[in-house]
Amino acid sequence: MAGLTRIYLILSTFLLSPLAGAADTTKLTRPGPVLTEPVGVGLGSFLQMFFGLALIVALIVGMAWFMRRMNSIPGGGQGSLRILGGLSLGQRERVVLLQVGQEQLLVGLAPGQIRTLHVLERPVEVTLARSPRPGQGKFADRLQELLKGKLQP
């Protein structure tokens, strides 16, 4: 029992010693240098901050362009294989309608698995309607009308 008490005292001394040094008030009462003029930001610091911000904005714009470019491929593929549509069934499961040449396949996708669910005898007519560009669509039209004062909220 005396050994545990001794270990406890040693550990508490090492753990609490930084806190005891922080309570030293002599360091707080000494007067420090008094600044008579305001300290400004130098041109070098301003330019470094400006170019850093410009780099971050350029990276964001570049990644947005890249993502838009990757998502704007109509049908999701070129040639004889196209993705006509899809539906998410869960967090990781999807059903996708593929067109291979003249045949259409309904395919189930899950982590590590791709299964043909059905081969359609008659192809489904699918219109590949593209989503409206940013700034176009129902919400943008309604917002423009609200801003012009034509509609009551």
What is the pLDDT tens value at each position of the chain, 153 positions in all? 566 667 776 767 766 665 555 555 555 555 666 666 666 778 888 899 999 999 999 999 999 888 877 765 554 455 678 888 888 888 889 999 998 888 899 999 999 999 999 998 888 887 655 555 555 667 777 788 888 876 555
Cα separation, 41 vs 45, in Å, equals 7
- The whole domain housing 103 covers 77-120
pLDDT score of 142? 78
Classify residue 91: in a domain, yes or no.
yes
| Residues near 115 by beta carbon (within 8 Å), at least 6 away in sequence | 107, 108
Classify residue 13: in a domain, yes or no.
no
Please give the share of the chain, as a percent, with pLDDT higher than 90. Answer: 24
The separation between CA 119 and the C-alpha centre of its own chain, rounded to angstroms, equals 37
Do 67 and 91 belong together in one domain? no
Cα separation, 106 vs 120, in Å, equals 8
Do 87 and 112 belong together in one domain? yes
pLDDT score of 16? 63
Q: What is the dihedral of CA 81, 95, 68, 139, to 10 degrees?
A: 130
- How far CA 133 is from CA of 12, 20, 43, 129, 139, in Å, comes to 65, 64, 41, 12, 12
Strand partners of residue 98: 83, 105
Classify residue 69: in a domain, yes or no.
yes
- How many structural domains comprise the chain? 2
Which pair of structure tokens corresponds to residue 8? 């406890």
Cα separation, 56 vs 63, in Å, equals 11
Classify residue 146: in a domain, yes or no.
no
Classify residue 143: in a domain, yes or no.
no
Classify residue 25: in a domain, yes or no.
no
Which one of 75, 95, 128 terminates a domain? 75
pLDDT score of 2? 63
pLDDT score of 11? 67
Do 84 and 114 belong together in one domain? yes
